Each structure stands twice: as structure tokens, then as C-alpha cells.
A = this chain, B = another copy of it.
Amino acid sequence: MEMKKTYGLVEAGGTKFVCAVASSPEDLREEVRFPTTEPAETLGRVVEYFQAAQKKWGRLEGLGIGCFGPVDLDKNSPTWGFVTATPKAGWADTNVAGFLSHSLELPVVFDTDVNGAALGEHLWGAGAGLDNLVYLTVGTGIGGGVLSGGRLVHGLVHPELGHFLLSKDPQDTFTGSCPYHGSCAEGLASGPSLEKRWGKKAQDLPPEHPAWDLEAAYLAQALLAFMTCFSPQKIILGGGVMEQLQLFPKIHKEVLRLNNGYIRSPSLTPQGIVNYIVPPSLGNRAGILGALALTST
């Protein structure tokens, strides 16, 4: 019998960091969470946590890190493992993977948080058995991970689904919250965008508020584009904003309307779409299990 290897896991988010130790999804040990402050302090807390964890649990095999982006994933690049052009204050050009690997003397698997989540849902969640998935998180930011042919999509850099440019609703006078693009998905449909446009936090807007129709229209527009690109077998929508479950039927309806019968599939019918565009099934463990999933790549 093969002994399961034990890994250190880091869900490195723009709002909070989560660290844990695990050998399998059933074995998540002493998870800790702390807010994402400036890089030296935040990464210092990660190092302290794993130093203490290794005293308790023994030497780890390595670290799995799912990180907010954009990140450099080119192994031949001098800035591999860095967070690069993020609008997050203080974090642009921060060496995350190299710093943690060096400080802890551990090998590291490093990818985007959303690629991790996509792989986690493929291994243990809503996408089990499916080799072609899009995972989109809609929260403080918008980001996506993609599995195609059973493998995470990488390339020149990595997918940047949150910065997909939307066709703006002519009635929408909000100028967008992304410093790079006036009308990308993140700029128009993230949690902070909702709050700035409507003057209330997303969770304080009632389900019948017109905010949700506009939000669903913007997300449906992005999802149809991802469907024309990746032809996924399932689309999983996570993140804080998607906890507003009234969004799902609105998105379903709008995706069918925009597709207008062109892409034909049993999944693109009023019955089928309910199981095609779905919430994550790993819930608030998606991020940390994503980091665990990365250690299997």
C-alpha cells in the first residue's frame, strides 16, 4: 500500500490567504486564514505557519499554491512564480513561489487559484468525470480556470477570463472598476463593481433588485463567449457574488437567448442548462482543495 504524501497548501487570494496541511480531501488539517495585507507580512505568516506545521506533522513533500493573478507560469522566465501586473496595492511583481520555496526549502507547485479550483472540481466536485470545464469565480475580482482535454490551459501566460471585454449595456452609466479596461467583466460585474454602481454591497441588494438582471446579462455574455472558445462540458460559477443563487436562472435564460439555437447540445436547452451552468460543489473548500489538486499535476 502506497503511503499518501502530505503537502502544505496555500490558497493565496487577493482578500485572504488560507493555509492547510493535507494528504487528501478527507484529511484537511488545521486550516488557518488571515487577511492579505502587504506581501512581506502576509508571506511571512505563511512561512511561520508551515514551520510550525512541520514541527507538528513532520517534513512536508512540498507546497501546492493556488494564487490570485496575473502570475508568471513560464518555468523558463526569471519571474516564474511572481504575481505580475495586479491592481492589488503593493503586490505587483511579487515573488510568491520562489520566496516560499526558498524560505521553507520545499518544492512548489504554483498555478492560478482558479486553475486549482477547476482541477479540484474535476477531481472531486461538480466536474467529476468531465475533461472540459470552465471554472469562473465572481467575487472581489473575476477570474477563470480552464480544463481542456483533461489538462489545465496555459500558454503565453494563462487565461484571463475576468478581463474579457464586455459589450456594455447602453443604459449602464457606470464607468467600470478595472484600471486597465473600461468595460471588462471584472470592471463591470465583480463585487466591488456592483457596490460602486448601486451604492450597496452585493449581499445587501435584495433578490428582486434590477442589479441582478444586469449582472446576469453581463455574465451570460461572457459565458457564451467562453462557450464559443472552449466548448466546455460544464461551467462552474463560484465566488461571493454567485452565492446570490437567484443569478443562476437569470443566467441560464440569457445564455439560451444569446445562443439563439446556434450551438446545439442537450445541455443548451431549458432543461439541460440547469445542470450545465452550476455552482461549485466544493463550496468554501474549493480554493484549498484546488491547491491540493495542483500537487497531483
Contact = CB atoms under 8 A, between A and B. Distances in A.
A183 B168 CA distance: 14
Contact of A160 (B70, B161, B262, B267): B262
Interface stretch (A188-196, A227-235, A245-253, A283-291): A227-235
B154 A132 contact: yes
Interface in A251-290: 258, 260-265, 267
Interface in A155-185: 155-161, 163-168, 180-181, 183
A37 interface: no
Contacts of A228: 159-161, 163-165
Given A85-B261, A180-B261, A264-B84, A155 B225 contact: no
A131 to B, nearest CB: 8
Interface in A3-17: none
Interface residues of A, number: 45
Interface of A: 70, 84-85, 132, 146, 148-149, 151, 153-161, 163-168, 180-181, 183, 221, 224-233, 258, 260-265, 267
A11 B224 CA distance: 29
A156 B267 contact: yes
9 contacts: A70-B264, A148-B149, A149-B151, A149-B154, A160-B263, A164-B228, A167-B167, A180-B262, A225-B229
Chain A at the B interface: mostly helix, strand, loop or mixed?
loop
A70 B167 CA distance: 25
A229 B159 contact: yes
Nearest to A229: B229
A211 B153 CA distance: 35
A158 B231 contact: yes
Nearest to A276: B156
A146 B258 CA distance: 23
Given A70-B262, A151-B151, A163-B262, 6 more contacts: A156-B227, A157-B264, A157-B265, A166-B167, A229-B229, A229-B230
Nearest to A168: B167
Contacts of A224: 165
A164 to B, nearest CB: 5
Residue of A180, A224, A228, A233 with most partner-chain B CB within 10 A? A228
Contacts of A264: 70, 84-85, 157
Contacts of A153: 148-149, 230-231
Contacts of A258: 165, 181
A165 B254 CA distance: 14
A155 B132 contact: yes
Nearest to A153: B148
Residue of A168, A233, A262 with most partner-chain B CB within 10 A? A262
A275 to B, nearest CB: 12
Contacts of A164: 225, 228-229
